Amino acid sequence: MIPIAKPLISNEEKKAVLDVLDSGIIAQGKKVKEFEEKFASYINSKYAIATSNGTNALHIALLSSNIKKNDEVITTPFSFIATANSILYTGAKPVFVDVNEDDFNINVDLIQEKITKKTKAIMPVHLYGNPCNMKALMEIAEDKNLILIEDAAQAHGAEYNNKKIGSFSTSCFSFYPTKNITTGEGGMITTNNERIDNIARMIRDHGSNKKYYHDILGYNFRMTDINAAIGIVQLNKLDEFNKKRIENAIYLNNKLNVKGLILPKIKENTKHVFHQYTIRVTKGFNKTREDLIKILTENNIGNAIHYPVPIHKQKLYQDLEYKDKLPIAEKLANEVLSLPIHPAVSKADLEYIASIITKS
Ligand SMILES: *Cc1c(COP(=O)(O)O)cnc(C)c1O
């Protein structure tokens, strides 16, 4: 089986974990601090705050930006549900803007018409590791006085105009095992805003910055030193991992020139880090997506649909009476199919994947 995702853990990570276990300090301690400093330095952000997962990184980032009940936050319907749910947790309302057909990211031209008096923030997602149009997003945010909080959970190491995603505005990363690097479970907020850094650290730790003195409502969203030790080793390998993902994606792009399959594009001035390699199986292809999935699975090729149901169509959001019609997201949900390109996929694997798809 060629799995769709695979965490790459070597002896280095194992040794780092054992060292932490032997040290006697296993919850948040100096390894978390070291991971934060190294991550901020890699991204080129002023601050980085480690959390226990990507979802609560988003939640903390919103709370630190004072997003609350009756506010509206503009976001994409074509993402993992954590994006929009983090907005719901604050009591604010996610407002969905349809995506671009060519890069699956929020369509910046449609944002304007969804802005109301209640709009406080925009939360774009760099889906599959492909950077959003940051220039346009920064302009809209500035022009309309909105906060920009980026969901960069799939975009570790991605770049826009030679600057790392995570360095533009407050951004949130995930280290879930399928992501470009992992800590088991884990998350990170990057920001250049000192006030956000201060509040985020408090919210992560029950609203406290002095032990047993609690100024605001917070949570236990801390990362452990065990997770951070894995993250420090993984961060050293991130560029190498991404290089392999990009090579694998380009290799498949060159092999899968088949009628009816739309392949991912790499835009000018961006570094796409291919968290996922996601093709579109359109009507012009000689099989349905379901038939292709069956053939891949029968031939031991892992595959997945990211995502089969746009967020506004999920039962949770239907129950919240979301009536949006977002035709591009709805169409893409019926066409997308992700194929394995993670760093453990070999040239022979790619050759095999391409041969199965092109002869099918
Ligand atoms: C993985 C992911 C998250 C959530 O991260 P967790 O670490 O799983 O909580 C949020 N948004 C997107 C786009 C993701 O892919």
From the CB of 124, is ligand 1 less than 6 Å away?
Answer: no
Nearest ligand 1 atom to alpha carbon 53: 7
From the CB of 307, is ligand 1 less than 6 Å away?
Answer: no
Instruction: Please count the other Cβ atoms lying within 10 Å of the Cβ belonging to residue 18.
Output: 12
- pLDDT recorded at residue 225: 98
- pLDDT recorded at residue 262: 98
In degrees rounded to 5, what are phi and psi of residue 171? -135, 155
102-121 pLDDT, tens per residue? 999 999 999 999 999 999 99
Residue 179: which pLDDT band, with cuts at 50, 70 and 90?
very high
Would the pLDDT of 360 be above 80?
Answer: no
DSSP of 265-330: ---TTEE---SSEEEEE-TTSSS-HHHHHHHHHHTTB--B-S-SS-GGGSHHHHHTT-----HHHH
From the CB of 181, is ligand 1 less than 6 Å away?
Answer: no
Residue ID of nearest Cα to ligand 1 atom 7: 54
> In Å, what is the CA distance from 260 to each residue of 226, 280, 334, 356?
46, 8, 14, 16
- pLDDT recorded at residue 235: 98
DSSP of 8-30: ---HHHHHHHHHHHHHS--SSSH
Nearest ligand 1 atom to alpha carbon 174: 7
From the CB of 153, is ligand 1 less than 6 Å away?
Answer: yes
276-304 pLDDT, tens per residue? 999 999 999 999 999 999 999 999 999 99
- pLDDT recorded at residue 78: 98
From the CB of 338, is ligand 1 less than 6 Å away?
Answer: no
303-320 pLDDT, tens per residue? 999 999 999 999 999 999
User: Measuring CA to CA, which residue among 175, 180, 119, 173 is closest to residue 150?
Assistant: 173
Compute the average pLDDT of residues 204-211.
96
119-149 pLDDT, tens per residue? 999 999 999 999 999 999 999 999 999 999 9
The Å distance, Cα 183 to ligand 1 centre, comes to 13
Would the pLDDT of 252 be above 90?
Answer: yes
Give the separation between CA 102 and CA 118, rounded to whole angstroms: 30
The Å distance, Cα 166 to ligand 1 centre, comes to 15
Nearest ligand 1 atom to alpha carbon 58: 10
Give the separation between CA 85 and CA 92, rounded to whole angstroms: 10
From the CB of 51, is ligand 1 less than 6 Å away?
Answer: no
Compute the average pLDDT of residues 37-49.
98
The Å distance, Cα 316 to ligand 1 centre, comes to 18
The Å distance, Cα 210 to ligand 1 centre, comes to 30
Amino acid found at 326? L
From the CB of 128, is ligand 1 less than 6 Å away?
Answer: no
Beta strand pairing status for 47-51 and 187-191?
antiparallel
Residue 343: which pLDDT band, with cuts at 50, 70 and 90?
very high
The C-alpha torsion from 49 through 55 and 56 to 61, rounded to 10°, is 60
The Å distance, Cα 27 to ligand 1 centre, comes to 22
Give the separation between CA 173 and CA 180, rounded to whole angstroms: 10
Give bridge partners of residue 51 from the DSSP assignment. Answer: 187
As a whole number, the mean pLDDT across the chain is: 98
The Å distance, Cα 89 to ligand 1 centre, comes to 15
The Å distance, Cα 52 to ligand 1 centre, comes to 12
- Tokens 């400093």, residue? 37
From the CB of 80, is ligand 1 less than 6 Å away?
Answer: yes
The set of residues, in sequence order, having a beta carbon less than 8 Å from that of 196 and lying 6+ positions away, is: 47, 61, 64, 65, 170, 189
Give bridge partners of residue 214 from the DSSP assignment. Answer: 208
Q: Is 106 strand, coil or helix?
A: strand
- pLDDT recorded at residue 296: 98
From the CB of 190, is ligand 1 less than 6 Å away?
Answer: no
The Å distance, Cα 197 to ligand 1 centre, comes to 21
Give me the percent of the chain exceeding a pLDDT of 90. Answer: 99
Pocket test for ligand 1, best of 51, 53, 55, 56 (most atoms within 8 A of CB): 55
Q: Is 154 strand, coil or helix?
A: coil
C-beta separation of 73 from 208 below 8 A = no
263-274 pLDDT, tens per residue? 999 999 999 999
- pLDDT recorded at residue 79: 98
C-beta separation of 155 from 273 below 8 A = yes
CB crowding 83-119: b at 16 or more within 10 Å, else e? bbbbbbebebbbbbbbbbeebbbbbbebbeebbeeeb
The set of residues, in sequence order, having a beta carbon less than 8 Å from that of 235 and lying 6+ positions away, is: 35, 38, 39, 42, 181
DSSP secondary structure code for residue 205 in this structure: B
- pLDDT recorded at residue 239: 98
Nearest ligand 1 atom to alpha carbon 154: 15
